[in-house]
Amino acid sequence: MTSNLKPPHVIIVGGGFGGLYAARGLADAHVQVTILDKHNYHLFRPMLYQVATGLLSADEIAAPIRSIFCRQKNVEVFMDEVVGVDPQRRFVQTADRSVHYDYLVLATGIHYNYFGHDEWKKFAPGLDSVDDADRIRGRILTAFEAAEHKAAESGANHTEIAKLLTFVLVGGGTAGVELAGTIAEIARMALTGDFRHINPREAHIILFEAAPRILPSYPEELSDRACVHLREIGVDVRTNAKVESVDASGVIVNGQRVWSSTVLWSAGVVASPAGQWLGAETDRAGRVKVTADLSVPGLPNVFVIGDTAAVVAPTRNLFGFRKGPQLLPGVAQPAIQEGKYVARVIQRRLAGQSPPEPFSYWDKGNLAIVGRSFAVADLQSLRFSGLVAWLLWVGVHIYFLIGFANRLLVMLQWSFSFWTKRRGVRIFPRDPTNST
């Protein structure tokens, strides 16, 4: 009789790292898992900028969620956008239906924060999805094409050409640094010899950061090394630079107009509205404040993980040395570990076992790529930069790609691009919102 009972229903909202590893952790549990995501793919976000700059194609860093779980029979996947949660009645609300849950895992991620100026988004897109990456790649390459067209005209307007060849990056965090460095290398290497009327090496790449230094979450010594390298490859790094306005003509920074046809945004993030759905306490970025087992206070069957959660937990570094509780960063490793942990919590509850120890985080360090063969590595007690850090970045990111085929394709593409200094993805869709 017991075997005929309907298994508990676990709904996981979000197919990112947190949701993916939570579902995998429930592979052997007597539960029915439903994954809801507005996209049908799992995206390896740390390498999304490489799609936006033409080094990789979207299918090399994304995998259909259904394919990932095709052999895990207790998982079903629906491409559906969640718009609310009723925690009292235990329902998740999508655009056209309500779904009951016994356990709910919210791993809904983040989006870019325009600090109350959402009207800037159409002029300065952020990098959230593969669609964004395609549009940004289109904007970058279209700017060079338009500049070539203008330069070929008799009586060419050099002011307009300079505007087309000025690329503005707002935000000097990891995403902004990676984009700025890669665009600089596109202009100085990948496009060399392709144009007859412009010199792509004359492109002006400007990186604005409101804080006193770029990569503010990294130690100052690594931040300084990254800044020096960016300037060496042609990026104009400007710190203490607050963007006050963004429009079709460029940006206003510290009261001065900077003319640009291509402005890209990476200045900050805000969590999904999960906290509003639950009526839960959140921090300034909208992340839900969770308990030691990653559940929501007062809602023991609702867990929030990844970028959506403000997790304060004991940590240990790469070599096992323990540190006190810290607010965890919104990167892949915390999300992966939190997803695995929540799966263990659910399994132990279903088995009637005592709960696991409170969540703790194994901090394996942070890596940021700053160019073709340069990166910075912060492994807490060990900090270094240069080619060795870049090779470590390559190895780590290849390892966490989903699927052997993707790993192989990325390795081949990187090898080809490294030796030839060319970009493999130069075809792009036209962006109707771009007036270039």
Residues acting as catalytic residues: 178
Question: How many angstroms separate the most distant Cα atoms in the chain?
Answer: 86
Burial class (CB in 10 A: 0-12, 13-18, 19+), 296: buried
**How far is residue 423's CA from residue 287's CA, in Å, rounded to a whole number?**
37
Distances (CA, A) of 206 to 144, 160, 180, 234, 270: 16, 17, 8, 9, 24
**How far is residue 229's CA from residue 221's CA, in Å, rounded to a whole number?**
13
Tally Cβ neighbours within 10 Å of residue 284. 7
**How far is residue 222's CA from residue 382's CA, in Å, rounded to a whole number?**
11
SS3 406: helix
| Closest to 383 (Cα-Cα) out of 216, 225, 228, 214 | 225
**How far is residue 215's CA from residue 230's CA, in Å, rounded to a whole number?**
12
Positive or negative, the Cα torsion across 145, 150, 153, 154? Answer: negative
Across the strands, what pairs with 295?
303
Tally Cβ neighbours within 10 Å of residue 240. 11
Across the strands, what pairs with 376?
368, 385
| Closest to 375 (Cα-Cα) out of 392, 360, 390, 354 | 390
**How far is residue 64's CA from residue 303's CA, in Å, rounded to a whole number?**
24
**How far is residue 56's CA from residue 243's CA, in Å, rounded to a whole number?**
30
